[in-house]
Amino acid sequence: MIYTVTFNPAIDYVVRLDAPLEVGEVNRAKGEDCVLGGKGINVSGVLAQLGCESVALGFVAGETGAWLERGLAAQGLKTDFVHLEQGMTRINVKIKAGQETELNGAGPDIPESAMQELEKKLDSLNEDDILILAGSIPASLSQDTYERLLARLQGRGVRAVVDATRDLLVNVLQYHPFLIKPNNHELGEIVGRVLTTDEEIIAAARTLQQKGARNVLVSMAGDGALLVDENGEVHRIGCPKGKVVNSVGAGDSMVAGFVAGWMQTRSYSFALRLGTACGSATAFSLGLATKEKIDELMKEI
């Protein structure tokens, strides 16, 4: 089974204006949407499109949390959230008016008792289960939270996938995650230099393998992606053609496609291909990738 963790899920209230936003004035929307999200939830959503079942874990609170939970169930996603007694699941306001303005909520505080409840859920994971940790850690939790969870799972054969940046990523390498997915700029920040060629990216990826990562997937936006797999092989892929209309969730979609592709075939080259199709399908769509769009792009790659 695949498990995703979203520490601070959100309801994105997306408002569309047909004129520039006027600060201090009444602005009338021409349309609005509510999108249920968070990085791990995005991964679960794309996995569902690919026919892969997952369980979305994390924390919800208040009436907004109940709404989020019901909405995900209506989409056919399985969830097993920890319910917090205080606070409310955050609402992020995204104003699209030519330029995009965002006002992101803080979300509820997560007490130690709630973390322990999440850990008990993770205690049921066994060999061959996959745990996907994605995104930043809320201010109410210690920044070593990823390390704490992976240390608890050590020796159980659980394959960990970590999509995070800088120290959050570097500090979990000692637990030999199955997959990490920095982009080329984040990888450059980690190794302390600007990476401009494939050879430099490969060398930097191998540095992270030496520190413990099994597979390093480097996304490079319009330049495609590069994978250095645990056998030392390098896989390079370009991007299908299309107009980018949405960057939100593209990285999460790539993670979902890679994991699903690997689970279905145990082929790293196929996993990279499906991951690239999923990431591009989201980038070319207003929302997350759909099965139809993924299938269409798989024929092009």
What is the model's pTM?
0.92
Cβ atoms within 10 Å of 109's Cβ, excluding its own: 15
Average per-residue pLDDT for the chain: 93
Q: Pick the catalytic residue: 12, 129, 163, 252?
A: 252
| pLDDT band at residue 239 under the 50/70/90 scheme | confident
As a whole number of angstroms, the distance between CA 236 and CA 26 comes to 50
All structural domains of the chain, each given as residue ranges with its CATH number in brackets, are 2-8+38-88+107-298 (3.40.1190.20)
The confidence score (pLDDT) of residue 241 equals: 86
Q: Is residue 136 left, alpha or beta, with left meaning phi > 0 and alpha meaning psi from -120 to 50?
A: beta
pLDDT band at 4 (very low <50, low <70, confident <90, very high): very high
Question: Residue 282 — left, alpha, or beta (φ > 0 → left; ψ -120 to 50 → alpha)?
Answer: alpha
Would you say residue 246 has pLDDT above 80? Answer: no
- Determine contact, residues 94/248, Cβ cutoff 8 Å: no
β partners of residue 95: 15, 101
Query: Does 75 score more than 80 pLDDT?
Result: yes
Q: How confident is the model at residue 165 (pLDDT cuts 50, 70, 90)?
A: confident
Among residues 40, 94, 50, which one has the least CA distance to residue 251? Answer: 40
Per-residue confidence band for 240, with pLDDT thresholds at 50, 70 and 90:
confident
Annotated catalytic residue 252 = yes
- 55, 79 contact by CB (below 8 A): yes
Counting Cα atoms < 13 Å in the Cβ hemisphere of 198 gives 11
Q: pLDDT at residue 247 above 80? A: no
